[in-house]
Structure 1
């Protein structure tokens, strides 16, 4: 994997008449890396600051005992958003990253052992539905048509629009009402199909972006058409190959990605962000600051309270947050060739389990699981004859009060037992390497408020204009990207949040650099390369 910069890098020569405007991006998740590429294409010299020892954020890569584990995102559904970033640099995505289509998209395993292969093949899907619920074939087609209509408005028209004015929301509202955005994901599925299993098949995707299908706005049903139109893909070498490719693009623009650099505060002067203070005490001046850190964390911990009138501590605490995740990464000494690349393994309860997770904040004894077997597509991610896996279980965020130091290993063992009884026979005797990520790690390692894995819950009253704005409501020249801002979580969402910057951040040559004001105040500072 490409090694990120640990210090200053040689940069392209700049015109002597006007120094390049400087941008600092806090965090190197996909939203931050995409933002850096877009800012670089708009005339900024960009520095990305990452507190971990390698880039990627939730897309961090773990390497252990010859196995490669992608820490987070594994489902790539809108490759054109990556292609745009490469095109901005005059390059082709395919020259750096090998994306392979995955089929089926997901294999859904119900608690009774029956399965459903969910794919983008229209005939195959009709055949699967005919096997499961023949009376719902026409209803499924109506659901997909509704998903396409929502996609054309919610994604194509509004996904890259800045909702920093309430009038933008007011203009979009009639279309959203016409498309029944007031319904939940579950409610829209129920309108069109009657079979309970099929309803689950059509609604679990909202969990992949942190939403409870019984509460999340039906706008997120657009995922069904998004997947049908563009497919589900996997990057050979793992999702980390995309991270490495983006770092390479940034450095090719003359920017840099600095790891092991934690930001302590966003510095504000005259009502505008003008740099960041590092934990070392040094200040890095900037003409614009983009935060890819968790939105709630950004406002509560990075922007001092004296600069906040909208996102006060009280409002942040009262917002609704997504569930968290328990993730177990493991490698086996043998292979399981019958296991699909992506498997959704459902437990005995659906609505009841989600109610425990989202509403009651109760860690239940049963669980539903997402099992990722990347070696189904790329065997190089494990030693010969072995398989790499990760399995995640949606769990409550830290308001549940679970002591994960005590509960992590028993919970992992329960998951291993369940997998050994269902998908991976003999598992407990085959594991040769293992590591875990708990809700506590989401908070402590990834700075996720309350350990929520997907920031604010995507209910209607926390979507679009109601979400933290891409152009900060609090101070000028501060911008937000990532899961916590518009349009939301998931790779298409965070990449689209970076697209919004094209509309709200001035071009680099339009700025009169304010860095001299900051430096004149006598603060210790870090010069840009």
Structure 2
């Protein structure tokens, strides 16, 4: 097979591109990864602070077996490339009414905590929710997430042979509606509705099936020692050991095609890289926008990339905190989720948004002294206008973020300036054609997941990987997308 492909060029060194590059290089193919950024990681960004680099992208590593399988497939071990620490506390939650709740890696401990928080009925409802999320996850892991090309027909047949799933899926209800019926305590409905945002959706518009995301997290959360960027560097190092070459600081300007087949990738510096196969690990919407060549505009239907998912306002900084005892993952809820998602639906910053805080230097049992690194995420709408964020927008976000936290008793010294903020409009410029969306296509609608593009495209030799492709957003899913792309390529080469 190596003789069949003169060159495989992977555009983008995000998790999907790295995953594909590792598998293809291990299969003996010649692989060259190019990225406009100075290093690997894609949206797994960092910002430099006096306390060291602070994460400015994904913060949660779940589904560890996905990464172990990737390393195992080459004869390597994940533990030789990154150091992981299992978090016993999945997240700590606060509400404006003074309520607090820890959820744990141990389901029984979480159930007991929910019982203490909301009473016997709340604990019973939580256990029922866990069982439902587990059934959904186990039912759809194989035919959906692990399948390279899921089909609606196959999924329908699967559901019909397991009729209990119809009740669990609640196909005509949103996630918020099902959670409101499942939990008598609205705070718990709000908590588990937040999981829709993990894939860029609103609980008021996302399908009820997204409740399965809780089971993915309940299986365990791991902290990457040194920050999430270490994981990307570990994958890059593994790819190099398999023979893959890397060029950073050189973006792809155009994919050259001839007679409907890719033949080369042109870089922004004028370099032409001959290529029989191209894996595009960027936002698939870039193809429709013509950013990789006018001839690729009709590669995907618009429904494969639109409507867009959520964006975010992200703070990444170092400061000394005062107030509530934080763990690695923390959530400060607003009083009414409508004050968060209704403005987002209208294209505005939340009036009063839920704030997620990653205290990067804290893990199970650790409370450092002095300067610490933090990432705060507030959901926001995608922005397609191409404008720069105004000083007023950034200052408004600063006020809403840190005044909200101050009401919980949490303050920072110094309070970060707006230079530590990344807005949806800035994300739109960082990731071309994304419109600021951080999760690709919107998950709203029961069949939204089936509309995402799969690895193969109608252009011969052009394949997709990354969070904008199947099976979707999040570092485990993006990593699986690289697995699907590599499998499609190897299958197509063998059949040729």
Moved more, 324-333 or 292-301: 292-301
Moved more, 435-444 or 242-251: 435-444
Q: Structure 1 pair 510/122, CA: closer, same or farther in 2 (3 Å)?
A: closer
Q: Structure 1 pair 278/73, CA: closer, same or farther in 2 (3 Å)?
A: same
What is the match of residue 4 of structure 1?
Answer: none
Q: Structure 1 pair 507/163, CA: closer, same or farther in 2 (3 Å)?
A: closer
Give runs of aligned pairs for residues 106-505 of structure 1, distance below 5 A: 106-131=91-116, 132-163=118-149, 167-168=153-154, 171-172=157-158, 174=160, 177=166, 179-180=168-169, 182=171, 183-229=173-219, 231-309=220-298, 311=300, 319-333=306-320, 338-357=325-344, 359-377=345-363, 385-399=370-384, 404-406=389-391, 407-425=393-411, 427-429=412-414, 435-460=420-445, 463-472=448-457, 474-505=458-489
TM-score, normalised by the number of residues in structure 1? 0.85
CA shift for structure 1 position 193: 2.0
CA distance in 2, matches of 1:76, 1:121: 17
Q: Structure 1 pair 285/420, CA: closer, same or farther in 2 (3 Å)?
A: same
8 Å CA contact 1:339–1:423 kept in 2: the answer is no
CA shift for structure 1 position 432: 9.4
8 Å CA contact 2:87–2:221 kept in 1: the answer is yes
CA shift for structure 1 position 166: 5.8
State the SS of the aligned residue for 1:460. coil
TM-score, normalised by the number of residues in structure 2? 0.90
State the SS of the aligned residue for 1:105. strand
CA distance in 1, matches of 2:290, 2:138: 37
8 Å CA contact 1:332–1:433 kept in 2: the answer is no
Q: Deviations over 1:54-85 (max 9, x none)?
A: 22111122223242211211111111111112
8 Å CA contact 2:465–2:478 kept in 1: the answer is yes
Runs (4+) of structure 1 moved beyond 6 Å?
378-382
Q: Deviations over 1:116-148 (max 9, x none)?
A: 112222222222221214213222222111111
Q: Structure 1 pair 147/166, CA: closer, same or farther in 2 (3 Å)?
A: closer
CA root-mean-square deviation: 2.9
CA distance in 1, matches of 2:304, 2:4: 38
What is the match of residue 83 of structure 1?
Answer: 68
CA shift for structure 1 position 164: 6.8
**Structure 2 residues without counterparts, runs of 5 or longer:** none
Equivalent pairs counted in the alignment come to: 490
State the SS of the aligned residue for 1:388. strand
CA shift for structure 1 position 461: 5.3
8 Å CA contact 2:144–2:150 kept in 1: the answer is no
8 Å CA contact 1:44–1:508 kept in 2: the answer is no
For the pair 1:49 / 2:34, whether they are aligned, the reply is yes
